[in-house]
Structure 1
Amino acid sequence: MKILIVDDHQSLRDLLADHLRRCGFAVEVAGTGGEAIACMQASRYDALILDLGLPDMDGAQILAARNTDRNGSVPCIVLTARDALESRVASLNAGADDYVLKPFAVPELEARLRAVLRRTVPGYQTLSRGNLSFEPASRHAVVAGQVLDLPRREAMLLEEMLRVAPRIVVKDRLEERLYACNESVTLNAIEALVSRLRRKLAMAGADIRIDTVRGLGYRIVMDGSGHV
């Protein structure tokens, strides 16, 4: 799951970004409306956390800017100090999925984010293939009753591949989905992640495996059959 946080208060957006990354999300941040629009034109997000009081434009313009090929249906949580009824109604009518007033508790915002994702992302609660099941909210992966110990990035990789299985996931897409645009990614970062996850699945006795499709990317198949 990839999240964009748009807020001009650097300390707040950094706090939120750090918390959500620890919870297993890939997070990018923007401090202005212009930066947010550029991010949405360049990448696809699963959710948007948006402050209305931006220095260069009103957050309502960002809600309208979601109507792009990449992010037209991205859910949005408005995060603002504007508590007037008119502001809440206008934001919800403009397409916001939730409205959170500042000040707020970070765990509550995380819970609201997960609730929005459950409503808007098919299969968000549990993903299953063969004898493996994965719960995105808790990053809990189980193979035939055995819990897999997956660090954050490996869990994110597994989730991305399960969501599209048996289709191929292009390597460039994995880089986009697993890393923020300002993160440096080594040439073999994805290969190393896939190798570690592949080894853990095999050691746990999973009846699925990760195949490399040379020149394209990776896909999940049933072990021994070539089909999911």
Structure 2
Amino acid sequence: MRIMLVEDDLPLAEALTALLVQSGYAVDTVHDGPSAEALGTAERFDLVILDLNLPEMDGLAVLRAMRARSDDAAVMILTARGTPEDRVRGLNLGADDYLTKPFDVAELEARVRSLLRRQAGLRAAALTVGDVTLDLVSRRCFTSAGALDLPARELALLELLFTRVGKVVSKETIVQSLTSLDDSLSDNAIEQYVSRLRRRLAPHGVTLRTARGIGYYIDKAPGG
């Protein structure tokens, strides 16, 4: 899942970026309104975490411009401006959530996961294929034998595939979902991640297949 963080407090932006990247998200960070507008116009994001007090163009103007161009990314407003009037304005302009500073990091992470589940159209808190269950709340993977520990990028790939079971996920979609502008993912790297994930899943009744020249998919039928 890809996130744009718009925050002009540089130490906070750096800390939040590190936290989200460690959780397996692809994060692009900008520090002012015009940069957010330019990046949001050029790239697609699943979630935008948006401060309101931004230089040159405030967060509400960024949000208004997003919705005016039919950008349907989920938006979490993150700001010290927590009056009821501010909340109402943000929500009326199309924000999906509102978190005031200071905030608890665990609450931020939980809200991010919730928004991304909703953005993917998922109502269930967990997805199961074969003997593998992906808990979308904790972002952990389990089998009947216990936890299935996956590196962050493999977990992100598994989440992408599990939320689209039976559908081919193109390499382009994988790159877009798993990388930021400062990152890169070659075809060889994708193949390596897929190969490692396939080996981890196979003993648990999950088949990760290749649609040659297009992308990858997980069978609907467990172990099929």
Is this contact kept in 2: 1:141–1:147, CA < 8 A? yes
Tell me the residue number matched to 2:138: 138
- The CA deviation at 1:198 is 0.6
Quote the Cα distance in structure 2 between the aligned partners of 1:121 and 1:66: 19
Q: Does 1:19 align with 2:19?
A: yes
Q: Does 1:82 align with 2:81?
A: yes
Aligned pairs for 1:124-163 within 5 A: 125-163=125-163
Tell me the residue number matched to 1:207: 205
Quote the Cα distance in structure 2 between the aligned partners of 1:184 and 1:12: 25
- The CA deviation at 1:173 is 0.9
Q: Residue by residue, what CA displacement relative to the aligned partner does 1:94-124 show, whole Å, maximum 9, x if unpaired?
A: 1222222223332232233234445554336
Q: Does 1:106 align with 2:102?
A: no
Number of residue equivalences: 221
Per the normalisation by structure 1, the TM-score is 0.86
Is this contact kept in 1: 2:110–2:137, CA < 8 A? no
- The CA deviation at 1:82 is 2.0
Quote the Cα distance in structure 1 between the aligned partners of 2:79 and 2:210: 45
Compare 26-35 and 188-197 and name the one that shifted more: 26-35
Is this contact kept in 1: 2:13–2:29, CA < 8 A? yes
Return 5+ residue gaps in structure 2 as ranges: none
Instruction: Flag the 1:76–1:223 CA change in 2: closer, same or farther, 3 A.
Output: closer
- The CA deviation at 1:48 is 1.5
- The CA deviation at 1:51 is 0.6
**Counterpart residue type for residue 122 of structure 1:** G
Quote the Cα distance in structure 2 between the aligned partners of 1:184 and 1:120: 24
- The CA deviation at 1:13 is 1.0
Compare 112-121 and 12-21 and name the one that shifted more: 112-121
Tell me the residue number matched to 1:218: 216
Instruction: Flag the 1:223–1:82 CA change in 2: closer, same or farther, 3 A.
Output: closer
**Counterpart residue type for residue 212 of structure 1:** T
**Counterpart residue type for residue 86 of structure 2:** S
Tell me the residue number matched to 2:172: 172
- The CA deviation at 1:223 is 6.6
Q: Hey, which bits of structure 1, 4+ residues long, moved more than 6 A?
A: none
Instruction: Flag the 1:172–1:55 CA change in 2: closer, same or farther, 3 A.
Output: same
- The CA deviation at 1:216 is 0.8
Q: Does 1:53 align with 2:53?
A: yes
- The CA deviation at 1:153 is 0.5
Return 5+ residue gaps in structure 1 as ranges: none
**Counterpart residue type for residue 102 of structure 1:** K
**Counterpart residue type for residue 188 of structure 1:** N
Quote the Cα distance in structure 2 between the aligned partners of 1:103 and 1:186: 39
**Counterpart residue type for residue 190 of structure 1:** I
Is this contact kept in 2: 1:6–1:30, CA < 8 A? yes
Is this contact kept in 2: 1:24–1:139, CA < 8 A? no
- The CA deviation at 1:224 is 6.4
